[in-house]
Structure 1
Amino acid sequence: MVTYSTENSVTTFTVTKEVFDSVYDDLIATKENDRVLLVAWNTDLIPLKPNDVNVRNKINKLPKSVMNDKNALFIFDDRLPHDLSSQHQKTLVLAKGTSVDTDDQPVAYVGGIDITNDRWDTIYHNATAIRDEAGIYFRNKGWVDSSLRIHDPAAKDVASNFLARWNSPYLSSQDFIDDLVQFEDPSYSPLPSFDYSSPPSGNQNVQIVRTYSCKYKKWEFAPNGEKLLPHSRIKAIKNAKNFIYIEDQYFIVVPELLDALMKVMPGLQRLLVVVQPPEFMNKCGGFENYMYENIQPIKEKVPNKLKMYSMKPDLDIYLHSKLVVIDDVYLSDGSASWNRRSMTSDPELDANVVDS
């Protein structure tokens, strides 16, 4: 992975239907020898439900391609620092087998959206009947989320993250618990890196940043962990001049991020935050208090500069975004929530974008 890449073409999505439509178009355009690389937190309607095993088994039983005798493979990755840690990255890469021109460069999706149908919704959140008919209902009637489609050099960095995890010599799902719940992965082979260059075609500078815990020592690609994601966010906040816009599922206290906000708030016009109110389970975990600890110091220091918003409860719409915009100059989107675990422990991946 490079420090950053220039001249990328980046498309932003703030409506989940548009993401699904774009992914569909890219998937049906794939041809023989192309690669589809998915890193996901969830593959079913209901998070944490072991129906993921059924999804895994069905994918692994798909017949080989008549074109190239290749299999689709699905594995579980439990290489994590703690029992309650989460593989939280959400990326999709579609790559040509060979490169002929700029249109053949890899495409990567980076954001907060899992490719599961309960995330599908329209900008008007008026498709309740369609969602009900399709059985698309988890806890809410609608979904707010965001994603980026990256075309050109930075997409190769997203792919490199997938390949580093896939090609790791330390295999996942190898312990007694995996045997007990039948999480054993199928055998699989290492994948080659991309052997072609990515000529630029856009105007965006992109930095792919990650979180990997320093507590876990079996990631040979990050033996001491990796904290470029929180460090880059702190740097971006400290360079804010006019406003910061945050749209986040949690927005709870992370001391280092709060310190950065406190330093720049006197010089800002506004800090705008759109957040999902804590639900019952999060309330039981103290999330209301953690949110208060994040908000109150700012309100006390600059009472008129922080504006917070949330969805009306009667709409029953869940906000899942992990989005930061600074001064119409800097955009960050990805899997990392504004909380401690995303900044220090859970594997996360974000794309930081600066338009040139």
Structure 2
Amino acid sequence: MLKDFSVQSLFMGCLTAFVGFASSFAVVFHGLQAVGATDAQAASGLMALSVAMGLCAIVLSVVTRLPISIAWSTPGAALLASAGAIDGGFSAAVGAFFICGILIVIAGLFRPFGRAVAAIPAPLANAMLAGVLLGLCFAPVKAIAFNPAFGLPIILAWIVVGSFKRLWAVPAALAAFALVLAFGVKIPDGALASLEHSLLPTVEFVKPVFTLAGIVSIALPLFIVTMASQNIPGIAVLKVHHYDPKPGPLFAVTGVFSLLAVPFGGHAVNLAAITAAMCAGQDAHADPKRRYWAAIIAGIGYVILGLLASAVTAFVALAPPILIEAVAGLALVGALSNSALNAFQQPESREAAAITFLVTASGVSFGGISGAFWGLIAGGLMLALSRGVQMLKK
């Protein structure tokens, strides 16, 4: 293995870890808080997820000698933000995370179950994701309305840097957020001194509580979003770069590492898509057989960043919540546009996708169950009815 190591892979691995963490940690942090986590519990969840995905990437890349990149479920975190708190509080959400991890393991080990997940119509899965992301993508506009002096620098940094290098757009917005916080936001006396106590990792054990509302509102939609928006595209990215791993075992391992993060507040880890392209591409190394080192280095970087998660979240907590929501919303604009495009691309499923999108985006819960689940059900019924009518006409 040491013969395969290269400076090029070292650089790409470090870049992957930084981009993967900086571009979406705000989404994860906000999502965990939305389902009832305290700042300490959100920091613990962020730490657990980052360490879990780092260790998972290292293990899979060493065993397979393939550039297997792992990420936390960013669409899943956005789903949590839209679902909001449920009966039972964060403990009930953690119970739902546990169920989701079990489902991911089953999907990897039990082929019929995995095939059933893959059989969920792609337009409906994308429409549900688009509806989940929509509310959070409004945050940048709301940040400007809250305070133009705070919101505009973040958005302008994202626009200007993104026009030259899209990959650096969100880190640039995050840097602008840090500058606004440092020079614009009035920080209470003694708050900076308390940051010194945040350098050590925060570990908060959360006892899971299993409720029907948690399973239906969080576990099932989180499982579907993670599989449809992360795991399956992650395999596709590897195949595009001429790697052909067996999907089932990879899914199962990500489910196991998700379960390891759950007791500490983490929701799910999965195969990466965007950062997978970074580690699997030619920039990681000219020789495809040596690119797995980029994923290993990225994994090490995630573990280090995870151990610093408490300091990161303590710093973020000093700012008005709408500002970090704005950064999270900007990080999800690309995902929103892609999911919306894929949702409405096929004319025969367009109405069903629209219903799924509208019900999900409404954020309305029925019977204590979030709109994401009902959106998928409503869209599925519409699609089944439409196909039934077409069959009768034939």
Greater RCO, 1 or 2 (C-alpha within 8 Å, sep 6+): 2
TM-score, normalising length: structure 1? 0.27
Q: Looking at secondary structure, tell me which structure has more strand per residue.
A: 1
TM-score, normalising length: structure 2? 0.25
